[in-house]
């Protein structure tokens, strides 16, 4: 086995190789003056089980690297090519909502799958598809960081109340709370007018003196979290920690969240200062 780290996942790839006690190599990536990308393997791949590690951030550039590297590995005689994509992008457009729209989740899968023998990802953001096999027609394994979040809560937080910031996050919140052994609820919105919206707990829970743990899979713009945090403060909640598997933090999202004086914990699927959950062991175990 040879673990190869793409430009967005060098450090995570090194950790995976260390767990598996196999060689590691960086993928050399460069750009021509007109913006075109070139990639080069720095170690021989012929006869190897090549494991390419690359999160899709930023998505378009990272995907080009994956396509070029995966096809090149096969052309150079790699025995197998596996893709470890800790953060899998382009999952929101999994249906045609308006005439003429591209179903980008399916198009991307068709482009990436041909050179692959195996794909591993962490907590993909599935909506209408409950199984990744419905989109990616290759041997797929999905791993979850829920156990890492639960362990962090058990080690560092007293009197936790796990809260999903919206309905979509309920599945993650419930799984984490079950592993922690603590109460769980979800935030919901009631709209009274175009400008007046009230955020409240879906269920009746005793939150006095509790440490609120907002749990979601992706922190992108952070708008939903910010809205929830502000309402929780009005309710008198003092201790709040935000957990996200994938910390995208678009624009000033991280800075704006920190201004609200909350703790932020993410996994290292995407490199960021908030990374405190290491998924390398989970991914190393998942590689066949």
Distance in angstroms (rounded) separating the CA atoms of residues 69 and 78: 11
pLDDT reading at 170 higher than 90:
no
- C-alpha radius of gyration, the chain, whole number: 20
Give me the residue spans of the domains in the chain: 2-144+279-286, 146-268
Give the pLDDT band of residue 157 (cuts 50, 70, 90): very high
Domain 146-268: CATH architecture, name and number where available:
3-Layer(aba) Sandwich (3.40)
Q: Would you call 166 helix, strand, or coil by DSSP?
A: coil
Q: Which residues pair with 80 in a beta bridge?
A: 49
User: Residue 195 above 60 pLDDT?
Assistant: no
Domains 2-144+279-286 and 146-268 share a fold: yes
Q: What is the spatial distance between Cα 6 and Cα 217, in angstroms, rounded to a whole number?
A: 23
Local confidence band at 196 (pLDDT 50, 70, 90 cut-offs): low
Among 109-113, 131-135, 222-226, name the one with the lowest average pLDDT: 131-135
When pLDDT is averaged across residues 187-211 and rounded to a whole number, the result is: 77
Partners of 240 in the β-ladder: 212
Pairing of strands 80-85, 118-122: parallel
Work out whether strand 49-53 and strand 2-5 pair parallel, antiparallel, or are unpaired. Answer: parallel
Is a pLDDT exceeding 90 seen at residue 202? no
- Which one, of 77, 80, 22, 17, lies nearest residue 53 by Cα? 17
What's the CATH fold of domain 2-144+279-286? Answer: Rossmann fold (3.40.50)
For the stretch 238-285, pLDDT in tens is: 999 999 999 999 999 999 999 999 999 999 999 999 999 999 999 999
């Amino acid at each position: 086995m040879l673990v190869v780290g793409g430009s967005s996942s060098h450090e995570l790839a090194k950790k995976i190789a260390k767990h598996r006690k196999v060689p590691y190599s960086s993928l050399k990536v460069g750009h021509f003056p007109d913006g075109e990308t070139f990639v080069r393997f720095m170690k021989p791949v012929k006869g190897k089980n090549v494991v390419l590690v690359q999160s899709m951030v930023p998505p378009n550039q990272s995907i080009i690297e994956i396509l070029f590297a995966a096809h090149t590995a096969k052309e150079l005689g790699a025995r197998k090519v596996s893709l470890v994509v800790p953060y899998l992008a382009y999952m929101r457009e999994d249906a045609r909502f308006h005439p003429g729209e591209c179903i980008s989740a399916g198009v991307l899968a068709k482009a990436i799958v041909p050179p692959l023998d195996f794909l591993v990802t962490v907590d993909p953001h599935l909506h209408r598809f409950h199984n990744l096999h419905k989109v990616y027609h290759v041997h797929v394994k999905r791993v979850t960081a829920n156990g890492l979040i639960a362990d962090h809560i058990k080690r560092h937080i007293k009197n936790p109340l796990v809260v999903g910031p919206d309905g979509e996050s309920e599945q993650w919140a419930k799984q984490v709370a079950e592993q922690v052994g603590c109460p769980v609820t979800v935030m919901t919105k009631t709209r009274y007018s175009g400008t007046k919206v009230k955020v409240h707990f879906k269920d009746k829970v005793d939150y006095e003196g509790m440490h609120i743990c907002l749990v979601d899979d992706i922190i992108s713009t952070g708008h939903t979290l910010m809205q929830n945090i502000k309402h929780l403060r009005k309710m008198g909640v003092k201790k709040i920690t935000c957990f996200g598997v994938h910390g995208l933090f678009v624009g000033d999202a991280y800075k704006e969240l920190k201004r609200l004086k909350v703790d932020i914990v993410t996994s290292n699927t995407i490199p960021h200062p908030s990374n405190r959950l290491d998924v390398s062991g989970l991914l190393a175990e998942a590689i066949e």
